[in-house]
A and B are shown apart, each in its own frame.
Chain A
Amino acid sequence: MATTFEAAKNGILTNGNHVDLTSGHYNLEQDAIKEAEGTKEMTNGVQEPDEDVPEIDIEISNVVCSFSVRCHLNLREIALKGTNVEFKRDQGMVTMKLRRPYTTASIWSSGKVTVTGATTEPCARIAARRVARQLQRIGFNTKFANYRVVNVLGSCVMPFNIKIAPFSEQYRSQASYEPELHPGVTFRINKPYRATLKIFSTGSITITGAPSVLAVQSAVEQIFPLVQPFRSERTAAQIERMKNRAELKRLKTVGYNKPSKKIKQELNSEDGLDEEEAEDEDEEEDDDVLSDEID
């Protein structure tokens, strides 16, 4: 289990297999580069190294980092000479989008750069270096200074529903639940790392404001025993719906998009063969228990 923990620290894990670091030939840097190139299959799943607790998949959706090139940048020049750049004059910055890894960099004239959209920490570093390299090629005397990960966003789903009202009552000092404002509980933790968790009654938990992937992991580990006493059963309909959702999400990554309502109507009216498809789609359109109102 220690190996997965270390691997988690570096933010790389393969498809549920345990990373064997004892082999000696495993090169994490190489792995990271391959990921950035897109040749390696990215899952971004981080296994929780707890034995007596069921494994929970934490999905890291965004890693935000910032660094400085330590020289003043001429934004106009970058906007003219750079590729894939967009000059946002009203905000005084240039946004540069990279294709691999798929990230966006916001460049200010002071030389500070913020890179968002990366999925793992090494990915973010590589993207940052790529941006700095691009700026260097334009002609600025760039350095790579003050690189730090500013924010990591992750999410996970508990295997049970959560009764958020009694939960928020018990942890009054740290939790804030206002059903009129937001359907989830905002739980703030301070030690060992700072993080803000949004806990929903469906069992999904979103972690933001964490300084590193490790912090996200420790936050989930911290919250699990706190949330477990307030668990409640899931109905079969809910489980079915969640499965359908996950299925659709997976299909989307391959490139399949749910047909829009118009197309579905056309299909419906054309021939009876497509009726089965239409029925399946209707299930998704059922009122979502999972999507709570934000009134």
Chain B
Amino acid sequence: MYNLFYRMEANKVCCYAHPDAPLIEDYRAGDQICSDCGLVVGDRVIDVGSEWRTFSNEKSGTDPSRVGGPENPLLNGSDLSTVIGPGRGDASFDDFGVSKYQNRRTMSSSDRALINAFREINGMADRINLAKTIVDRANNLFKQVHDGKNLKGRSNDAISSACLYIACRQEGVPRTFKEICAVSKVSKKEIGRCFKLILKALETSVDLITTGDFMSRFCSNLSLPNMVQKAATHIARKAVELDIVPGRSPISVAAAAIYMASQASNDKRSQKEIGDIAGVADVTIRQSYKLMYPMAAQLFPADFKFATPIEDLPQM
């Protein structure tokens, strides 16, 4: 029988008749099939999927998987080291019940800090429900900072919090310093300092925060309807455009805009509630609101339905 194997390149297997046809892999049978003519090209292909299915709620301490987790390529020393697993069965225990072979050596002592930091970043991100892309970016930033070594003296917690903050900013979904502070052990001052140092060390810069970045989050936390959220976004944007709130932090302007919009609608929120959610003092909201109140008529969007007309808006 004619040998059906025709190799064009050293590594590539393909059908002899259709060298350019993509191969379909059938995992269950272990075959590679030509998509054009149906010829089985590969034979007894080893399945690279996992041996065991692992479920997160299984409390079994023994993980039957023999290969361990996926390798973390960019971020670790990428050394293929062997680890002695925990002993099972009677032979692995001493006379006294102590396991004979001591538990796994520190496999990557140079990256111990890295692994700790990644775990920390993961934990923090988990608490505020951040997407995996942000976590990955934060990990990348931490790795870069760690390699650069100019922030060596700073505590790793502070650097990881600052990396998380920068990652959120770079992804276009900034979190306020106070929000990061809430899930971290570090003070806002220290995170701010590390933030500036990291930007200098990595020679990057971040975009300025705008009022619109926080609208959806704050409004959802206050359970305000979409109309109010849109109105608040419009108010804040207009206020910044007209420059009636010079020198005010965008967070305070956003909070004051939400207050104005909510007071004009049916779902009114007090300054204290908004201040709690936004992390702004209610006197700050009051100050920004006082600046915005005189121009209220110009700030509201044209199609806004007033439950409370502008004249009846609180002046405080």
Contacts and interface: CB of A to CB of B under 8 A. Distances in A.
Indicate whether A and B interact.
yes
Interface of A: 161, 163-165, 168-169, 172-173, 176-181, 183, 200-202, 232, 287, 289, 292-293, 295
| Interface residues of chain A: helix, strand, loop or mixed (majority) | loop
Nearest to A286: B290
A232 B247 CA distance: 12
A183 B246 CA distance: 10
Contacts of B280: 295
Interface in B90-116: none
B247 A289 contact: yes
B281 A178 contact: no
B139 interface: no
B208 A295 contact: no
Contact of B290 (A163, A200, A287): A287
Contact of B284 (A173, A201, A295): A295
Contact of B192 (A164, A178, A183, A292): A178
A287 B291 CA distance: 10
26 contacts: A165-B240, A168-B208, A172-B205, A176-B196, A177-B208, A179-B249, A179-B251, A180-B176, A180-B209, A180-B251, A183-B249, A200-B247, A201-B247, A202-B247, A232-B243, A232-B246, A287-B287, A287-B290, A289-B246, A292-B247, A293-B252, A293-B281, A293-B284, A295-B249, A295-B280, A295-B281
Contacts of B176: 180
B208 A169 contact: yes
A295 B290 contact: no
Contacts of B287: 287, 293
A90 B249 CA distance: 39
B208 A292 contact: no
Contacts of B196: 176, 178
B281 A164 contact: no
A292 B281 CA distance: 13
Contacts of A295: 249, 251-252, 280-281, 284
Contacts of A200: 247
